[in-house]
Amino acid sequence: MALDALIAYRKPAPNMAPLAQIAAPVLLNAPSRSQFEHEILSTLEGSSTPRIKMAIESVLKYSVEILRGGDRGVAISELPMLFLCPEKFLNAQQILNRHDSVLSGVRNSIEAVVSKSNSN
C-alpha cells in the first residue's frame, strides 16, 4: 500500500479521478531523486513478489512527478470541503466539466449499444 500511496503523489493526469486531479497532492520534504530511487529499489531485497515488482516499476516510472514539489491543489485542512463543494477549488470547474463530458459520451455509447441490441 505504501508504494501505491507514493504513486498517488504523481502529477495529476487527465485519466485520474477528478477529485485526485483537483487535490493534486505533493510529497513534502521529498528526498533527492537518487536517494528516493535507492530506497525504493532496496524494497526488492525484502520482498520481490510480482505485485511488489510492478509497484516499484510504477514508482520509478513516475519518480520525477512524485518528487516534483510545489503547492498542493487543496490544503489538507480543506480536503473535507473538496468532497462537499469541489467546484470551489482552482481549476476544478474545468476538470469537472471534462469529466462530465467523458461520462456523457460513455452513457451515450452504452445507450446506443443497448438500443441497437433491443431492436434486434
Phi-psi region of 69 (alpha: psi -120 to 50; beta: other; left: phi over 0): left
Cell of 56: 516499484
- 35 near 27, Cβ under 8 Å? no
CB-count burial class (<10 Å; 0-12, 13-18, 19+) for 10:
buried
Residue 46 has a pLDDT of: 75
Decide: helix, strand or coil at residue 76.
helix
Report pLDDT for 69.
86
Q: Supply the pLDDT for residue 108.
A: 93
The pTM of the whole model exceeds 0.85: no
Alpha helices in the chain (DSSP H): 2-7, 18-23, 33-46, 50-61, 63-66, 79-84, 92-119
Nearest-10 crossing angle of helices 50-61, 33-46: 180
Total tally of structural domains belonging to the chain: 1
For 16-68, how does the pLDDT look when each residue is reduced to its tens digit (9 = 90+)? 889 888 988 888 889 999 999 999 999 888 777 899 899 999 999 999 999 99
User: How far is it, in rounded angstroms, from Cα 111 to Cα 40?
Assistant: 45
User: What is the domain range of residue 7?
Assistant: 2-119
Distance separating alpha carbons of residues 68 and 36, to the nearest angstrom:
12
For residue 110, what pLDDT is reported? 95
Mean pLDDT across the chain, nearest whole number?
Answer: 89
